[in-house]
Amino acid sequence: MTEPRPSVSGPEVAALMTGPKDGLASAISLVRSAGRAAIIYDAPLDNSRYNEYYRIVAGKLAREIRQTKPFASVEEEALLNLSRTAEALHQKTSEVLKPFDISATQYNVLRILRGAGDAGLPCSQIGERMVTADPDITRLLDRLEKRGLIERERSTEDRRMVITRIARQGLDFLAGTDTAIQQSLKKNLGHLGKAKLQQLIDLLEELRGDENT
């Protein structure tokens, strides 16, 4: 007779998930805790630290995408969880910005330029600082300039370089969106608490590694 698999969560999950895959397992646990999903694991086959394995039976992601077969690996499930969560949060941000008639990418550019101050930035550096890459930065800047949110002029030191700065109207525009954006962040992420959010930040930065190498 087959013994029932134990159901574990919270600190028990953290205690079970030891070994080389701690980081990915913790990321999955954090994402699932937001959805209050139950996580069920098989017991390890033996006592060897490097031979332990856990099979996720009823994960939240599998139910959301209606997948009946197990994921090929915990790495695959982690990647899909990250992608789905990022897309969900992006959609919520886009909904907040919709009344302001601006895309999340355009909003990101305005925030970058606000941070750059009076010095402004050349087009290439704006692209480097964007959270999500845009294949046509020039056209994006054209649209923002047409609305009077940014200003562009050639550098006095190098006439080949065009410097972009946020306009006064752009600063006023961002000020009008700040409250709505912060309220959205609190609603969608604040329930995790500062400790879990910091842990999530650390894990995501570890996964990205050094982007310059």
Question: Phi, psi at residue 152, to the nearest 5°?
Answer: -130, 140
| Alpha helices in the chain, H assignment, sequence order | 11-16, 22-35, 60-64, 74-97, 104-116, 123-129, 137-146, 168-189, 193-208
DSSP character at residue 11: H
- Cα separation, 112 vs 120, in Å, equals 9
Q: Are 5 and 57 in contact (CB under 8 A)?
A: yes
Q: Which residue has the tokens 């309220």?
A: 183
Residues in the chain, pLDDT under 70: 1-58, 211-213
Based on the fold, state whether residues 67 and 118 are members of the same structural domain: no
pLDDT reported for residue 35: 43
Residue 177 lies in a domain: no
Q: Are residues 25 and 75 in the same domain?
A: yes
- Same-domain check for residues 42 and 112: no
pLDDT of residue 71: 76
Number of structural domains found in the chain: 2
Judgement on whether residues 29 and 81 belong to the same structural domain of the protein: yes
Clarify whether residues 153 and 202 are in a common domain: no
Within a domain: residue 110?
yes
**pLDDT recorded at residue 33:** 47
Residue 176 domain-assigned?
no
At position 160, the amino acid (one-letter code) is: R
Residue 74, C-beta contacts closer than 8 angstroms, at least 6 positions apart: 21, 24, 25, 28, 54, 56
Residue 183 covered by a domain: no
Under a CB-based contact definition with an 8 Å cutoff, are residues 35 and 70 in contact? no
Token output for 68: 């009946």
140 lies in the same domain as 72: no
The two three-digit tokens of residue 138, written as one number: 């020039």
Residues 64 and 113 reside in one and the same domain? no
Q: What is the pLDDT of residue 42?
A: 39
**CB atoms inside a 10 Å sphere around CB 206:** 10
Let me know whether 22 and 64 are in one domain. yes
In terms of domains, do 20 and 59 share one? yes
Please check whether residue 49 lies inside any domain of the structure.
yes
pTM over 0.75: no
Q: How far apart are CA 12 and CA 21, in angstroms?
A: 16
Question: Does 137 fall in a domain?
Answer: yes
Domain of 71, in residue numbers: 7-85+191-208
Return the CATH number at 155.
1.10.10.10
pLDDT (0 to 100) of residue 61: 74
- Do 113 and 139 sit in the same domain of this protein? yes
Report if residue 158 sits inside a domain: yes
How far is 134 from 145, CA to CA, in rounded Å? 17
